[in-house]
Every structure is written in C-alpha cells, then in structure tokens.
Chains A and B, each alone.
Chain A
Amino acid sequence: MTGEGGHIVQFDNVGLRYGTDREVLSDVSFTLFPGSFYFLTGASGAGKTSLLRLLYLAQRPSRGVIRMFGTDVITVPRARLPAFRRRIGVVFQDFRLVPHLSAFDNVALPLRVSGVPEGEIRKPVADMLTWVGLDQRADARPATLSGGEQQRVAIARAVIARPEILVADEPTGNVDPEMAVKLLRLFEALNRLGTTVVVATHDVHLLRKVSDSLIMRLDRGRLSDPTGALRYPPRPEVAAR
C-alpha cells in the first residue's frame, strides 16, 4: 500500500529532539518511492541514525507528520505498529543480534515473529546464510563470530522476510571491500524485486557503486536534496521508477 502520490514514505516538516536538547533533526521533509534506492549521507552526528530510527519506527518525532504505507504512523494506534515494523527490514549499526541464539535462529527471527510455519523456514534461512557466506557458521552464537560475520548475519536477518523497505545503518562498515560490494549487490537484488532501500553511509565510494541510486544528505539535522529526488511531487523520471 502506498500514499496518494505513489510514495511509500513521506516525512513532512519532521523535527526530533531528545529531552530538552536542541533538535537533532529539523524541518525534514522528503518522500521515498517504492523500488527506489537511496543513500543517506552526512558527517558523524549529522542525524543519520536518528532519521533511520524514525524510519524503522523506533522513535516518534517531536513534531511533523510521517506517513508510511499510506498511513499516518504517528497517530496510528500503538497496537498496529508491529504490523508496520514487519514490513521494514533493519540493519542496525551495532548489529543487535540476539546473543543466546545461533546465526541460523537470528536470521530466522523475522520469519518466526511473522508466524511463518517452521517447515517453511529452514530452506530460505539456509540459502540466505549460504549467500552471505556463513553456511558453515549457522550454529555459531554471535559472540563467536567476527565483526564482519555478525554484520552479515544482521544483513541476512534484515532481508530474509522480503521487506518492503530496507533500512541499513552503515551496513558495510565492518566488512572487507569485496564483501561490501557483494552485500550491496544483495541490496540491489532486493531493490529490483521492489524493495525500497535506504542505506546510511559516510563512505562516498559506496555511492558510486549503485547506479540509479538517489542521495539524501543530512547536515546538522537538516536534509538537503542535491538531486531533487526527494521533493514532492516528484520529478517524472523519479516517479516513473
């Protein structure tokens, strides 16, 4: 389900502050379109992680309107939010794997939360672990995995349920360049299947590796739109994607 303009996410004058501190995000307005690939860039402390937290519904904004999947997610009853969260895949910057579960069970988590029958879980999870090169580590607990391996488990967990939006916070920060490209290709493959991808990174080299990607740039909590891709209504070539 998308909004009236065909967008999947719409932020309108969104502001966010923690407690009584100054706003970490100010007047953020943009739209994301289904099947588009976005890079969110900006210096450390620019507000990338805060913006992503709003996107994966971990946080309510201090002001403004956020519509996702055609629904105002700020005023929607709290009991309905889990259904929205299941449509969003998240790669956390600090991976956030469940420590007492194996790599396999961590990847299977979104499917189990969504109520997928156990018999339909084993093969896709095994395939996903094979694809991220961790089929031999399926039974390993996160504590025994290297940082790069943990990151690949976190990415596999984020994409296993074919989310409509994939939000990734520095997803290639702990992997070697070869694996970084491989993971980006995974995101692209998911994107081609219709998933809207938002990747936060400060690695400018990464931006060039995905053709047709759109750039969102945050500078001290304010969003700039260097390519005009985020404006509403969108440019025809963006809307046509």
Chain B
Amino acid sequence: MNAVFSIGSMAIRRNAPRFGAIDRLAPHSRLAGPMPWVIAIMIALTVIAAGAGLALRNLGTNAGAEIAGGLTVQILEGAPAARERQAQAAVAHLRTRQDVAEVIRVPEKDLEALLEPWLGRQMLTGDAAIPVPALIDVRLQGPVTERRLEELRASLKALVPSARIDAQAGWLGPVFDALASLQWLALGLVALLAAASAAAVWLAARSALGGNRETIEIIHLLGATDRQIARLFERSIAFDAAIGGLAGLLLGAGALWLLGSQFARLGSGMVTGGALGPADWALLVAIPIAGVMLATLTARLTVIGALRRML
C-alpha cells in the first residue's frame, strides 16, 4: 500500500513555486471571444492616430527646415523698366552680403504662369497688363530672426525704396501652429486609446475572474500563489492582445499606407514632406508590443487586486 506514496523523493517546493506546468490550467483564449477584436480595433485606431501625428511632425520639421532661412523680396514698382532696374540692383546688393547664401530671381514667365489661371492672359500682357511685382527668393545663412530681417530691410530700402521683404516662416506661422495642435491632438488620442484599451482589458480580466471563480478558489486552496494565478490570466490575455495587436497593426498600417499613397498623388512638396520614414514605421510596429505589455500588466494588477480580497 505504501507504494502508492512512493513520491517521497519528489522535489515538492514548499516555498519556491515554479510556474511552468500550472499554466495549462488556464482556459485558453478563443478567437471567437470579443477581446482580440476589441484590441484589434483599439490598436488600429492607435496606429492611425500615431501615424498621423508622426506624419504631421515630419511635415512640420521638413517644411520648417526648408523655409527657416527663407525670405521673399518683392519690388513693388509699377513701371516695368524701373522695376527691372530696381530688381537687378536688389539682386546685386543681396549677392554682395556675407549672410546671404542664395539669391534667385523668380523669372517673369514663371510668375505669369502662376497668375494666368487667376487673372487671364490679357491681364498680364499688352498695354492693359496689370503690374506684377518682381520676386526675389533669398536664403540666408541660418534662420531668419527679427533683428536680421530689420537690418536687411534697412540696407535694402536705402538702395531700393520699393522693396518689401517678408520672412517665409512668417506666412506659414499659423500653419505650423495648426500642425502643432494637430500633433497634440494625435498624442491625446493615443493616450485616450491606451486608457480605453486598459479599461477593456480590465473588464475582460474581471469577467474571466468571474467565469473561473471556482477554478481559482480550488487552486488557491491547493496552495497556488497570487502570482501563479495571475499568470494564468496574463497568458490568456497576452495571447488575445498579441492576436488583436497584430490584426490592428495590419489594419492601421494598411490605412496609413493608403492615405500616404493618396497624399503622394497630390504632388505637393509640403505634403510629401510628411512621409513616414523607417524609424516612424518601427515606432508604429512597437505599438502592438506596448499594447500586449499594457494588457498583461493590467490583467496582472486586476487579478492580484481581486485575489487580495480572498484569504
């Protein structure tokens, strides 16, 4: 009879439980359950929001760098000959300055081509043509500051009284402010979606706890630690989160790729400056990984919190 108890040499650990085989206790997740799909939707929305935020950041950075040192000089002279003379004088003066990196006179043909759709051909040629200012695109060494702008304005006005100088960044200031606001909005959305995901996981863990209360009580009374029991749920929810996260990533990345293709077709230099780079995509791929970690941590805290109410 004692042969039945021939387990005396077994390495029963009274104080240092391992978690390996007990994990098979967990009623494993099924894709039929709502949890993976809820997580997939949350991750997809997070990926889209984060992708939009990153694109806006890239757009702002690229456009900002492009126009940081940019100035536009307009020669506001009605008489064509005087305008041409003053424009040449302004170009010559600007090219002599050490702080100017590049000076490009915008050809009149280009200006007419830009204005023709709006004003019509007859308004730009002949005697009835309206005067169009001469434009000079200037790029300074380093960014434009108010002090530099004032100093340049004074020196140019002394030579060409009809010259008007504007910093390109000034025109686009409101656009950059709007871009910054949209980036904050995207960040807020990501935070809200993370909180909503955690709440969904909390509800799922609570529901799983309720559905498995009997099993939990049994293994609790058999000596399982809170950590062992929590691990059962962590595994189950991590599996759901991984499946949902992968589906959400594919969905979100697909949506971003489609949007990117649509914007790329616009052919606008500013918009294409918002394209996502490899580092951005790596960050987006990290979202479902962070989602799995968040879900696992939420499940652990929820289950351990509930278990602490038991003896």
Interface residues of A (CB under 8 A from B): 56-60, 78-79, 81-87, 90, 96-101, 105, 108-118, 120-121, 124, 127-128, 131, 157, 159-162, 185-186, 189-190, 192-193
Contact = CB atoms under 8 A, between A and B. Distances in A.
A115 B18 contact: yes
Interface in B221-237: 221-226, 228
15 contacts: A82-B223, A85-B222, A85-B223, A86-B14, A100-B27, A110-B222, A112-B20, A113-B223, A114-B14, A116-B11, A121-B21, A124-B7, A160-B7, A186-B1, A189-B4
Contacts of A60: 311
B24 interface: yes
Contacts, number: 118
Contact of B311 (A57, A116, A131, A192): A57
B214 interface: yes
B14 A87 contact: yes
B222 A131 contact: no
Nearest to A125: B7
Contacts of B221: 56-58, 85, 90
Interface in B1-41: 1-8, 10-22, 24-25, 27
A113 B217 CA distance: 13
A161 to B, nearest CB: 6
B10 A120 contact: yes
A27 to B, nearest CB: 22
Contacts of A162: 5, 7-8, 12
Interface string B263-303: 00000000000000000000000000000000000000000
Contacts of B3: 127
Given A86-B14, A117-B11, A105 B24 contact: yes
A113 B219 contact: yes
Contacts of B2: 189, 192-193
Contacts of B224: 82, 113
B158 interface: no
B245 to A, nearest CB: 26
A110 B220 CA distance: 10
B4 A115 contact: no
A58 B311 contact: yes
Nearest to A85: B223
Contacts of A79: 225-226
